[in-house]
């Protein structure tokens, strides 16, 4: 008998966060989250995503044992302002039992109907800054801290429960040696001269901080046209600024400004923390933070997390300026492999930016949708 229990206390939330350890701990490809960080992200007092969203967390139990979990999410900006009547769900994990996954999805659907929403889509997070998509290809590739990993049977469960693919995402990688400067160095100089822009690179986080709010504003502007984009609020900007910017290598954040010192483009790259998180196994102490600090300083793999360009500068080659700066940084650090975070399969513009690097698709993922 499957019982669906709503999480109502700290013990239940810890059970919710740690459940994936029971089905992935033997996987060499799953990257565990930091348990405390994950618990904090579900705290409405700590995560500003709850400013415009609400979430309920559910566990599936059989004979007292947890066999699945799901978060049911309502984003009010999406529903009330953008008029997208969507019931979100994420952090959806389960054993290979159709009855378990069905019971969890039925609970999400029940809430969606109560809210008078028209369809449900997942797996997604609270907003665009969260993880997205169920993995459909690339199961034998190491996961990352900014994506979900899942067993191959997940896709079959969605399909058997009547869900259809809504959005497709691609993940690409290329060896750094593919980054031939001849492809972008000439363009870099031409773009700087023609549009009177210049790059800004940093070695100290304190020098970056005064520009971070402007960067997040540009993020909202440059990504506004993408499907299901939910802009960052002022509280979210402050949250990410305080929690994450100081953890990113300052030399991995690049800005491009115009002749009036206005930000027109930015890039954020992160060292790969995957192997460090595997060693930490969910715990920051006593040694987990040491593994993360070592990865920050010495990882030879990097992930392109975000690139944003002001609409009036898109398709003008400004990314060549960013790539030129990253090339110098990566060469000095002997970087071996570059990864890209999930990108919508129909985002042809971003794919064109990378064409000279000869990237290869190494993972595919998607979200699934079902009418309510």
Per-residue pLDDT of the chain (372 residues; tens, 9 = 90+): 899 999 999 999 999 999 999 999 899 999 999 999 999 999 988 898 898 899 999 999 999 999 999 999 999 988 998 899 999 999 999 999 999 999 999 999 999 999 999 999 999 999 877 899 999 999 999 999 999 999 999 999 999 999 999 999 999 999 988 887 777 888 899 999 999 999 999 999 999 999 999 999 999 898 877 666 777 888 888 888 877 787 789 999 999 999 999 999 999 999 999 999 999 999 988 888 899 989 999 999 999 988 999 999 988 989 999 999 999 999 999 999 999 999 999 888 788 888 888 899 999 999 999 999
- Rounded CA-CA distance 133/21 in Å is 19
Distance of alpha carbon 361 from the chain centroid? 17
Which H helix or E strand runs over 242?
helix 234-243
Question: Among 178, 182, 203, 184, which Cα is nearest to 335's?
Answer: 178
CA geometry: angle 76, 220, 42, nearest 5 deg:
45
Note the pLDDT of residue 280: 94
Do the beta carbons of residue 210 and residue 259 sit within 8 Å? no
CA geometry: angle 119, 122, 123, nearest 5 deg:
170
Note the pLDDT of residue 306: 87
Distance of alpha carbon 101 from the chain centroid? 24
Note the pLDDT of residue 339: 95
175-364 matches 2-170 in CATH topology? yes
Do the beta carbons of residue 84 and residue 78 sit within 8 Å? yes
Note the pLDDT of residue 127: 81
**Structural domain boundaries in the chain:** 2-170, 175-364
Task: List the structure tokens of 255.
Answer: 């800005």
Q: Which fold has domain 2-170?
A: Aminopeptidase (3.40.630)
Note the pLDDT of residue 148: 97
Q: Which fold has domain 175-364?
A: Aminopeptidase (3.40.630)
DSSP type of residue 32? P
Note the pLDDT of residue 228: 63
Do the beta carbons of residue 235 and residue 48 sit within 8 Å? yes
Note the pLDDT of residue 237: 83
Establish how many alpha carbons lie within 13 A of residue 192's alpha carbon, considering only the half-sphere containing its beta carbon: 17
């Amino acid at each position: 008998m499957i019982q669906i229990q709503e999480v109502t206390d700290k013990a239940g939330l810890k059970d919710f966060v740690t459940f994936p350890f029971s089905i992935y701990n033997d996987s060499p490809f799953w990257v565990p989250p930091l348990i405390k960080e994950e618990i904090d992200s579900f705290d409405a007092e700590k995560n500003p995503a709850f400013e415009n969203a609400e979430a309920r967390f559910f566990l599936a139990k059989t004979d007292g044992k947890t066999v699945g979990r799901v978060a049911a999410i309502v984003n009010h900006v999406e529903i009330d302002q953008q008029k997208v009547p969507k019931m979100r769900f994420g952090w959806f994990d389960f054993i290979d039992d159709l009855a378990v996954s069905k019971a969890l999805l039925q609970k999400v659907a029940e809430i969606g109907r109560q809210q008078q929403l028209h369809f449900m889509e997942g797996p997604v997070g609270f907003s665009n800054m969260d993880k997205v998509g169920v993995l459909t290809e690339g199961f034998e590739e190491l996961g990352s801290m900014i994506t979900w990993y899942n067993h191959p049977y997940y896709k079959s469960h969605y399909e058997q429960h009547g869900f259809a693919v809504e959005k497709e995402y691609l993940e690409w990688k290329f060896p750094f040696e593919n980054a031939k400067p001849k492809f972008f160095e000439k363009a870099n100089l031409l773009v700087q001269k023609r549009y009177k822009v210049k790059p800004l690179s940093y070695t100290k986080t304190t020098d970056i901080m005064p520009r971070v709010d402007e960067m997040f504003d540009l993020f909202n502007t440059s990504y506004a046209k993408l499907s299901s984009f939910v802009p960052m609020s002022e509280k979210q900007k402050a949250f990410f600024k305080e929690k994450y910017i100081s953890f990113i290598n300052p030399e991995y954040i690049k800005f491009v400004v115009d002749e009036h010192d206005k930000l027109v483009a930015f890039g954020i790259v992160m060292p790969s923390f995957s192997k460090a998180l595997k060693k930490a196994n969910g715990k920051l102490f006593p040694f987990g933070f040491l593994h993360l600090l070592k990865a920050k300083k010495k990882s030879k793999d990097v992930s392109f997390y975000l690139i944003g360009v002001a609409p009036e500068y898109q398709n003008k080659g400004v990314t060549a300026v960013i790539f030129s700066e990253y090339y110098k940084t990566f060469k000095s650090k002997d970087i071996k492999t570059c990864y890209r975070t999930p990108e919508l399969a129909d985002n042809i513009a971003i794919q064109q930016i990378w064409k000279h690097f000869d990237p290869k698709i190494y993972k595919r993922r998607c979200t699934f949708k079902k009418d309510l």
